[in-house]
Chain A
Amino acid sequence: MNSFKKNLLKKRYNAERRFQWYGKIAIGLALSFLAVFMFQIFSKGYSAFQKTWIVTEVHYDKELLLIDAESPSKDDLENADYYDVAYKAMTSLDPGLPEEEDRQLIQMVSYKYEAEVKDLLLKNPDYLGKIVPIKLTASDDVDQVHKGNYPRDIPEENRRVNDYQLQIYDMLNERGDILSEFNISFFTSPDSREAELAGIASSFMGTVFSILVCLAFSFPIAVLAAIYLEEFAPKNKFTDFIEVNINNLAAVPSIVFGLLGLGVLLAVFNLPRSTPLVGGITLSLMTLPTIIIAARASLKAVPPSIREAALAMGASNMQTTMHHTVPLSMPGTLSGTIIGLAQALGETAPLILIGMVAFVNTIPGTPVDPAASLPVQIYIWSESAERGFVEKVSACIMVLLAFLILMNLAAQIVRHKFEKKWS
């Protein structure tokens, strides 16, 4: 081998090695971005899954409750006045505190503490007249102090928790009267202005309903369109034009679909504003081209030999399509659909335009109840100044990501499990 050839060979190997390194660096960069992103979200968000409680004692005094009856009925308990009882439960933490300062104590629990006091008695009517321990939701400031997210060393006038409240908190913490438990209410409560009470139930249900409406509208329309275009439509300029337009539709920015939803669904058809019904239909406009393209691709992927086999057996076009081509294309179509829905799941802009950005503090029971959706909830919370919402934003992102990962996983499973192998 002469030296020229040797050099050439060496260059070739070097080029390949270099190329492999470029690839590895690219993958490394991508993975490290992802790792930083994940670390950010998890380190900020994990604490939202913990809820802080303040334990105190409540005396269900019949006189303070204004209950006269000897053996009070459920209604009596329901209509009793809990203000004083709840107030005393909190102020009893520091009996020496002058009355005009008591707000400082009350502020340490959520504003719903009176309802919590009431709920406990309604659940346990035999507590009437007794002194029992009670868990009250800590205010988001105390919550953040307990989670260590709140700096204690800044000057008092810049702090939302003052020195006195910190002192009480430390005392309670030492006694073991500050509890930290899994935050069930994050999943079961609707949104709230108070960070400690806010949950994702309304936006989660809103997302679920939107996705179902989106599926119900986009899947049948898209699959029928794809089957017709692929199997029946003549191939001419007009169908080419339609195909180009469907591909273009897939590239239209989602906010444009939002405007369409606003202008047509709300203004012309007068569908109820802020509801998953309108949100789902708007999203289905976006999902439609994605599913059509996926369905056409998987119809195209069915080998022509199968169509020929069916046609040669005397099956009509319709029978060939329905008995053979469509069932064989279903795995691809379904996984395309799931990916389209996963895209719709993360869509925010069109939902904001059709009013699903409204503050909703009820859990929607049907697609025509006002609701938010998970990505919009992230957007809403990220606008809030309270520290308690910062961790909620990350937690909500985690829930959304989990949802997305589950859907993509489902798409993978559908594709691999049901895809037929060709001989």
Chain B
Amino acid sequence: MSKIKAENVNVYYGSKQALFDVSIDIAEKEVTALIGPSGCGKSTFLRCLNRMNDVIDICRVEGSIKMDNLELNSRKLDVVRLRENVGMVFQKPNPFPKTIYENVAYGPTIHGIAQSKEEMDQIVEISLKKAALWNEVKDRLDEIGTGLSGGQQQRLCIARAISVSPEVILMDEPCSALDPIATAQIEELIDDLKKEVTIVIVTHSMSQAARVSQKTGFFHLGKLIEFGPTDKIFKNPDNQQTQDYITGRFG
């Protein structure tokens, strides 16, 4: 089933066009990987899905992006509500310089999800457990989140993202700043999370895309060159450019 349906999405930074007629169907409760060389527009596309491009003054998005028939690319859309449903994990771990507890509790607090302290404690515990971080931090929830190791910080950010039970989580190269062990932990986590959440992940690592995703989209120069089941993209792509990229002939 399709969760997000993008049609003819064009993105401009001032007069420079960054995305050209991107159309893509993102399936529910699957992991969709977006790959491609640097500057190909995959992060730009990802940021259309939770309207993070709004932050950039000169950025203009055209086309239609529908999530469960809700038009995302509309002035009338309440971005605060959208972002409650579409969480995001960034390239560099960016926990708030507050305690671990406050990091996870922030989303539920501003969205009024927890009614009581007990409920909040529970949300924090469940989120940290889902992010496979609970056992490591349960005795030091009042320590500053930025004091954790890189991998732990990234899992804290994932816990923060899932604390508001979003339907979609966007991940923008979540492992690029992490070592192989932390990367493996995050990948395992992605595998667990997809039972409940739709995940879109931008990655530079093709092996990671192959490991974690069910569908893969290949971007090049702002165009979606090929999109399909991960197996097919990696074993038998239709397009010569895709073939060249995944075999490492360019990129």
| Interface of A toward B, CB cutoff 8 Å | 234-235, 303, 305-316, 319, 323-324, 328, 420-423
A308 contact from B87, B90, B110, B160, Cβ within 8 A: B90
Chain B residues bordering chain A, tally (CB within 8 A): 30
Contacts of A324 in B (CB 8 A): 96
Residue in A closest to B107 when the chains form the complex, CB atoms:
A313
Q: Mark B102-139, 1 if CB is under 8 A from A, else 0.
A: 00001100110000000000000000000000000000
Contacts of B52 in A (CB 8 A): 308, 311-312
| Interface of B toward A, CB cutoff 8 Å | 50, 52, 55, 57, 79-84, 87-88, 90, 92-97, 106-107, 110-111, 146, 150, 153, 157, 160-161, 164
* Complex contact B87–A312 (CB within 8 A): yes
Given A235-B57, A306-B94, A421-B146, the answer on whether A312 and B88 have CB atoms closer than 8 Å is yes
CB B201 to nearest CB in A, in angstroms, measures: 15
B83 contact from A305, A311, A328, Cβ within 8 A: A311
Contacts of A420 in B (CB 8 A): 97, 146
CB B99 to nearest CB in A, in angstroms, measures: 13
Residue in A closest to B149 when the chains form the complex, CB atoms:
A423
A313 contact from B57, B97, B150, B164, Cβ within 8 A: B164
CB B47 to nearest CB in A, in angstroms, measures: 9
Residue in A closest to B147 when the chains form the complex, CB atoms:
A423
Interface of B is mostly: helix
CB B144 to nearest CB in A, in angstroms, measures: 9
* Complex contact B94–A319 (CB within 8 A): no
Contacts of B146 in A (CB 8 A): 420-423
Beyond A421-B146, A422-B146, A423-B93, 18 additional contacts (C-beta under 8 Å) are A234-B57, A305-B92, A306-B94, A307-B55, A311-B52, A312-B50, A312-B88, A313-B106, A314-B80, A314-B84, A314-B107, A314-B164, A323-B110, A324-B96, A420-B146, A423-B95, A423-B146, A423-B153
CB B103 to nearest CB in A, in angstroms, measures: 9
Contacts of B55 in A (CB 8 A): 307-308, 311
What 10 A-B pairs come out closest when comparing CB atoms? A314-B83, A305-B94, A312-B88, A314-B84, A420-B97, A309-B94, A423-B146, A313-B107, A314-B80, A315-B110
In whole angstroms, what is the CA distance A305 to B161 when docked? 15
* Complex contact A308–B97 (CB within 8 A): no
* Complex contact B96–A314 (CB within 8 A): no
Contacts of A422 in B (CB 8 A): 97, 146
Query: A-B contact count, CB below 8 Å?
Result: 72
* Complex contact B111–A314 (CB within 8 A): yes
Contacts of B96 in A (CB 8 A): 306, 309-310, 324
The 20 sampled A-B contact pairs (Cβ below 8 Å) are A234-B57, A305-B94, A306-B96, A308-B88, A309-B160, A310-B96, A311-B55, A312-B52, A312-B87, A312-B90, A314-B83, A314-B110, A315-B106, A323-B110, A328-B97, A420-B146, A421-B146, A422-B97, A422-B146, A423-B94
CB B49 to nearest CB in A, in angstroms, measures: 11
In whole angstroms, what is the CA distance A384 to B83 when docked? 71
Contacts of B111 in A (CB 8 A): 314
Residue in A closest to B84 when the chains form the complex, CB atoms:
A314
CB A92 to nearest CB in B, in angstroms, measures: 75
In whole angstroms, what is the CA distance A309 to B50 when docked? 12
Residue in B closest to A303 when the chains form the complex, CB atoms:
B94
In whole angstroms, what is the CA distance A319 to B84 when docked? 14
In whole angstroms, what is the CA distance A313 to B161 when docked? 7
CB A184 to nearest CB in B, in angstroms, measures: 48
* Complex contact B95–A313 (CB within 8 A): no
Contacts of B97 in A (CB 8 A): 306, 328, 420-422
Given A235-B57, A423-B146, the answer on whether A312 and B92 have CB atoms closer than 8 Å is no
In whole angstroms, what is the CA distance A307 to B97 when docked? 12
In whole angstroms, what is the CA distance A377 to B86 when docked? 64
CB B236 to nearest CB in A, in angstroms, measures: 36
In whole angstroms, what is the CA distance A217 to B160 when docked? 40
Contacts of B87 in A (CB 8 A): 312-313
CB A229 to nearest CB in B, in angstroms, measures: 15
